[in-house]
Chains A and B, each alone.
Chain A
């Protein structure tokens, strides 16, 4: 009987621990997240799609903007997965590189702007929780994740553009 009771306690303890963790996530993350996402969503609705389209069409001409500003803005405004529709402003040969660049930013953006990909927050949040557990603040990590993300998508855009041109020539 004693052993059975022990086993039952051990079993329910797993879910108590899980429940505590859930409580921490819900009270620690969701309130700020809800307010922030609401604000950004409203902001995007106020700016309007047409203005964005014009701006995107302008950006698409320069390679430095094409793989930095354009993917960042498309992800911020249109979010994952509609961000990739901005590819329509580009010449065919640049489309794979733009996609690669934009999709690679769908997690680095979540540190600062979780609305952009709210369904996949735990790539960042999972790791960030470890930092929080040690008692550090997350500001520096979120900003560096964003900045390094921009550098990486620029490099990724350039490399994928080269490979696309190479593969196109071979066909």
Chain B
């Protein structure tokens, strides 16, 4: 017998509350948190009577999922499941953000959830229904009166359409700048200010220069990033790659690392790219659960070979740089 529970947003969290009741078809409580089943997933499974599953290392068919638990700081993952209308619980306090922000709504998504935010539902709220297909963007078909319209009207409509698309593109762009680019610039500037003002830069230079300053060091760096237990941990949002990128850039600017090393460094700090996102990315490509089971290790192990190889190729190409 499955029990319904109410999941509310935690302190600083957003969205919800969701009421989750597993059914015979949809009984999986799935944890997509970079491997393993986290505590909250276990608690939800225990309370509802559903089955906890690890969605990172094993593929779970989407039509069996009652609720999915993620830990996404606001890049890609937090929008993927809401877009598919699968109830989503985020352990982090993220609100609607990322490229899929518009799909993150209060009726399908709740964040900042801790075990104390779970309670048995008293039946007063409706159960959050998973799998209601998202509203297709209704395409307004030009009605059948074409041919009768004068050329002037047709040209007018076409121009209007193009202008509308450009205007929408501008709106999306400004949204992107405000939501993603400016916050990251603020964050980077704080780090750089502190590094330059405190002399911390000299210490970092001593740590980074031997690794990012020569070919052997960079091959080692890329190999470390590609180790299958490390890559899913340092992957999310490319935050670590971006911070290291800024630090290496600072050292190039200061003359501690040769500018030609910029190209191989770009690959050395990024061998883990998307290593945390394999099951979600595969699910976006409509892969079968068996494919996901095989695909996660295939991608992660491939990186141990191709990560260092990419550095060598980039190093060879760097001789084409004019500096």
Genuine A/B complex: yes
Chain A contact residues, CB within 8 Å of chain B: 10, 13-19, 21-22, 25-26, 29-30, 33-34, 37-42, 45-46, 79-82, 84-88, 90, 92-93, 95-100, 102-104, 106-108, 115, 118-134, 136, 140-141, 144-145, 147-148, 151-152, 155-156, 159-160, 163-164, 166-168, 171
By a CB distance below 8 angstroms, the chain B residues around A46 are 162, 165
* Interface residue B119 (Cβ < 8 Å from any Cβ of A): no
A145 touches B266 (CB 8 A): yes
- The reply to whether A17 and B192 form a contact with Cβ atoms under 8 Å apart is yes
Q: Please name all residues of chain A whose beta carbon is closer than 8 Å to the beta carbon of B75 when the two chains form the complex.
A: 119-120
| A21/B193 in contact, CB under 8 A | yes
Asked whether B318 lies within 8 Å of A95 as measured between CB atoms, the reply is: no
Contact residues in B for A84 (Cβ distance below 8 Å): 281-282, 284-285
Report which of B197, B253, B317 forms a contact with A130, defined as CB distance below 8 A. B253
Q: Report which residue of B169, B177, B259, B282 has the largest number of chain A beta carbons within 10 angstroms of its beta carbon.
A: B169
Whether, in the assembled complex, B320 has its beta carbon less than 8 Å from a beta carbon of chain A, the answer is yes
Given A34-B173, A107-B273, A140-B322, check contact A118 B294 (CB 8 Å): no
A15, chain B: closest CB distance, angstroms: 6
Contacts of A129 in B (CB 8 A): 246, 249-250, 253
What per-residue 1/0 map shows which CB atoms of B267-310 lie under 8 Å from chain A? 10110011001101110111110110111111101110110011
* B240 nearest CB neighbor, chain A only: A123
- Specify which of A80, A98, A125, A130 lies most central, judged by the most chain B CB atoms within 10 Å of its CB: A130
Give A102 to B193 CA distance when docked, in angstroms: 35
Q: How far is the CA of A97 from the CA of B291 in the complex (A)?
A: 11
- Nearest residue, chain B, Cβ from A118: B176
Q: For residue A103, which residues in chain B have a CB less than 8 angstroms away from its CB?
A: 273-274, 277, 281
Nearest-neighbour CB distance to chain A for B73, whole angstroms, equals: 11
Consensus secondary structure, chain A interface: helix
Cβ-defined contact, A119 with B282, below 8 A: no
| CB <8 Å contact, A45 and B169 | yes
A128 touches B193 (CB 8 A): no
Q: Contact: B99 with A22, CB < 8 Å?
A: no
B281 touching A81 by the CB < 8 A rule?
Answer: yes
Q: Is B151 interfacial (CB 8 A cutoff)?
A: no
Contact B302 A160 (CB under 8 A): yes
> How many residues on the B side are at the interface (Cβ–Cβ under 8 A)?
95
Please measure, in the bound complex, the distance between the C-alpha atom of A14 and the C-alpha atom of B201, giving whole angstroms: 13
B190 within 8 A of A: yes
Give every chain A residue within 8 A of B165 (Cβ-Cβ): 42, 45-46
Q: Which of A19, A141, A147 has most chain B Cβ within 10 Å?
A: A141
Inter-chain contact A17/B245, CB cutoff 8 Å: no
Q: Let me know if B252 is at the binding interface, CB within 8 A.
A: yes
User: Are A82 and B189 in contact, CB atoms less than 8 angstroms apart?
Assistant: no
Other-chain residue from B172, B253, B313 in contact with A152 (beta carbon distance below 8 A): B313
A100/B299 contact (C-beta < 8 A), A19-B189, A122-B246, A148-B267 known: yes
B194 at the interface (CB under 8 A from A): yes
CB pair B322 A92 closer than 8 Å: no
A86 / chain B contacts, CB cutoff of 8 Å: 285
A34, B169: Cβ atoms under 8 Å? no
Min distance, Cβ A69 to any Cβ of chain B, angstroms = 17
- B90, CB-defined interface residue at 8 Å: no
| A136-B265 Cα distance, complex, nearest whole Å | 17
Q: A81 to B99, Cβ gap below 8 A?
A: yes
Whether the Cβ atoms of B246 and A120 lie closer than 8 Å is: no
Which residue of chain B has its CB nearest to the CB of A170? B294
Contact partners of B274 in chain A: CB under 8 A: 99-100, 103-104, 106
List chain B residues, Cβ under 8 A from A156. Answer: 302-303, 306, 310
Do A134 and B259 touch (CB < 8 A)?
Answer: yes
* Interface residue stretch chosen among B104-112, B120-128, B178-186: B178-186
The answer to whether B284 and A41 have CB atoms under 8 Å apart is: no
- Rounded to whole angstroms, the CA-CA distance of A127 and B254 in the bound complex is 12
Contact partners of A100 in chain B: CB under 8 A: 274, 298-299, 302-303
Distance A140 CA – B181 CA, assembled complex (angstroms): 24
Whose C-beta in chain A lies nearest to the C-beta of B192? A21
Is the CB–CB distance between A140 and B249 below 8 Å? no
Give the nearest-CB partner of A136 in chain B. B323
